[in-house]
A and B are shown apart, each in its own frame.
Chain A
Amino acid sequence: MQTRGLPGLLLVLPALLLLVTLTLYPVGYGFWLSLHAKHSLFPQQTFVGLDNYLYLLNDPEFWESLRIGLIYSVSTIALQLVLGVAAALLLNESFLGRNIVRGLVLFPYMIPTVVAVILWKWMLNNQFGLINFGLVSLGISNEPINWFGRSYIMISLILVSVWQFFPFVLLAVLARLQSIPTELYDAARVDGAGPVNRFLFVTLPQLASVLFIIILLRSIWMFTKFDTVWLMTQGGGAERYIRTMPVYAYLRTFNYYEAGMGAAVAIVMFLMLVVAATTYFFLFRQEDQL
């Protein structure tokens, strides 16, 4: 009974209005801003055309932030996927206390980034941290490692990011796993498929559509992640070496007070994402989708 459409439109209007003014408008404004030189604290700005972008093209800090950003994103996404899928497969089996475990395993995702960061900063502390204690007592390392110094900061950052976000992958994959009819596995067993083959020929194809979305979403979110990176790297002495693009955009706006430049960095990120997402869609789109 989906009749006269007007009431429907009216129902959506308030939500739409809010989204347009608070999301789309700022984005548009961001585009406009990137074409100006503007001090973040003062209302005036000057039109400079594409100067900001040209500056960035020649800015070594910009390229470094891109490089670091890509290393970070790709590593964390890959690990989140592997861990998330493995955990989902594990938690799809039945065992005593399964529901409790399922709940507990989701916690890293539910807590504020701040808490995740300070918790790991404590675990990875070079004097009193549990991790260093373990490594030294097991003989894996001779002395406590400085997890926040230049050599290891990327590893700690990736560790914390994977810890924090793999439950997202876990949730989505587990939900999908539970809707795979068990008869398919029965048929595969009768057909002679062992556990590995059953995973390859029954489970994985069924997961394809979920993984497609997860990879897309996690890529967008890890590439643009600010909180975790910022909080993990501040104060350890290694800030200069781990600037991802979001951090760089932030610094440009709030340290250098160049709002136009900061906006330009953000726009570049956006364009890169659009290109990547479109290519991704064309290459990997599943027919039975969304």
Chain B
Amino acid sequence: MAEVKLVGLEKKFGDVSVIHRINLDIADGEFAVLVGPSGCGKTTTLRMVAGLEEASGGSILFDGKPVERLQPKDRDIAMVFQSYALYPHMSVRDNMAFSLRMKGVSSAEKRRLVGLAAEMLGITDLLDRKPRQLSGGQRQRVAMGRALVREPKVFLFDEPLSNLDAALRAQMRIEIKRIHQRLRTTIIYVTHDQVEAMTLADKIVVMNRGHIEQVGDPLTLYRRPVSRFAAGFIGSPKMNFFPAKLLSDESGLHADLGDGIQIEMPRERDAVYRPYAGRSVEIGIRPEHLLDDNRLIDSGAIAMDVTIDVVEPLGSTSLITFVLGGTSYTAIGDIALMRRPGNKVRLKAAAKDIYLIDPESGRVVHPADNDSTIVRLAV
């Protein structure tokens, strides 16, 4: 159990900087997920915390003590690798006991610890098998068992679920969450899958090109993304970004999306948005907030009339694709309405679900914190 702090952490390969002085605080027992596209630096960061990569600058602190000069084995960490990295010629039991063997732990103690971990993961009857005799999901559990046995201060996971099929992935996610709830060890988890991030994390760290874009709990990241990148990365399907011109007239601010579509900006945010009047902006609306649904009739709802291009039925809802200004956008529709390509529909979104983005800075312009439309989540 430990608190992890990254201070000005940097990584260079020759002259090329891949991690640019990042700072991060992870509380004791917190489940932190580093998420981002390939090449964003999340795995490099994880490996530096593990000690498998040497930091070019800055420091890593466990409970206030710097560890960046220590070997992996002296940092009291455990790691689960993407390809599990099980020792092929050893039995599951020996795989799990290997680190204990390196420490010189007695046989009795080894048996006890391995037994406990095996029981927690449900692999007790696999203990005498060899890795090549196991399925992907079983190997995953063994890899986790090998990490559990060490009772480390910090657990590190490097995209552990990427090699599993969808059903297994969903199942293992729950297992991992259960283990965290039970053990309350600090976890740093790397993934490129934002669904994993959202479902598992106490704290999500969105990374992009060696920088941290945003840190926050899942709901905050979902509702108040700080940058266009974060807004587009979290949430599936991806947020719609409509290029628009922000215009001001007697009735207030509205955005012109082209093709005759105009959106009225919520009055409460006038003060925050006014500085952008007359400029090109982007309006962000998540597909799940853009509804072909007559039930949404409250005041302050924006509306746009569009022609449907493609309909993808999902079961209880459908994904509607429409084209505006040459670009495709997505909305959610009521499947009972049986929409077809070519139908004209009126899509509505609540005022609170609209985001204004400044394309130059890439920042999302947020109203102040006391906006009643933002819900605070007790963590």
Contact = CB atoms under 8 A, between A and B. Distances in A.
Direct touching of A and B (C-beta under 8 Å): yes
Contact of B81 (A186, A193, A202): A186
Contact of B73 (A183, A191, A206): A191
Interface stretch (B85-93, B317-325, B363-371): B85-93
Interface in A169-188: 181, 183-184, 186-188
Nearest to B77: A190
B146 interface: yes
Interface stretch (B7-15, B98-106, B259-267, B308-316): B98-106
Contact of B89 (A188, A191, A205): A205
B50 interface: yes
Contacts of A184: 85, 87
Nearest to B73: A192
Contact of A192 (B83, B90, B103): B103
Contacts of B60: none
Given A189-B52, A190-B50, A190-B52, A183 B98 contact: no
B87 A183 contact: no
Contacts of B102: 191-193, 197
Contact of A187 (B51, B71, B85, B103): B85
B197 interface: no
Interface string A205-228: 110100000000000000000000
Interface residues of A, number: 17
A63 interface: no
> What DSSP secondary structure best describes chain B's contact surface?
loop
Contacts of A186: 50, 52, 79, 81, 85
Contacts of A280: none
Nearest to A189: B72
B78 interface: yes
Interface in B76-127: 77-79, 81-83, 85-90, 98-99, 102-103
A55 interface: no
Contacts of B50: 186, 190
Contacts of A190: 50-52, 72-73, 77-79, 99
B85 A181 contact: yes
Contact of B88 (A188, A191, A192, A205): A205
Given A181-B85, A186-B79, A191 B71 contact: no
A211 B197 CA distance: 45
Contacts of B90: 201
Interface in B50-83: 50-52, 71-73, 77-79, 81-83
Contacts of B103: 192
Nearest to B83: A183
Contacts of A202: 87
Interface in A132-183: 181, 183
B233 to A, nearest CB: 27
Contacts of A197: 102
Given A183-B85, A202-B87, A205-B88, A191 B99 contact: yes
B196 to A, nearest CB: 20
Interface in B216-259: none
Contacts of A206: 88-89
A206 B90 CA distance: 11
Contacts of B88: 205-206
Contacts of A192: 72-73, 99, 102-103
A193 B87 CA distance: 13
Contacts of A188: 87, 98
A287 to B, nearest CB: 9
Interface string B28-66: 000000000000000000000011100000000000000
Contacts of A193: 73, 98, 102
A174 B133 CA distance: 28
B87 A201 contact: yes
Nearest to A185: B85
Interface string B354-378: 0000000000000000000000000
B299 to A, nearest CB: 57
A184 B143 CA distance: 12
Contacts of B71: 189
B130 to A, nearest CB: 9
Contacts of B86: 187
A192 B99 CA distance: 6
Nearest to A184: B85
A37 to B, nearest CB: 54
Contacts of B73: 189-193
A206 B150 CA distance: 25
Nearest to A191: B99
Contacts of B87: 184, 187-188, 201-202, 205
Interface in A6-21: none
A206 B87 CA distance: 10
Given A190-B52, A192-B99, A205-B89, A181 B72 contact: no
Nearest to B71: A189
A212 to B, nearest CB: 13
A212 B90 CA distance: 19
A191 B81 contact: no
B98 A201 contact: yes
Most buried by A among B79, B89, B146: B89
18 contacts: A183-B85, A186-B52, A187-B79, A187-B87, A188-B98, A189-B51, A190-B72, A191-B99, A191-B102, A192-B72, A192-B73, A192-B102, A193-B102, A201-B87, A202-B87, A205-B87, A205-B89, A206-B89
Interface of A: 181, 183-184, 186-193, 197, 201-202, 205-206, 208
Closest 3 CB pairs of A and B: A192-B73, A191-B99, A192-B102
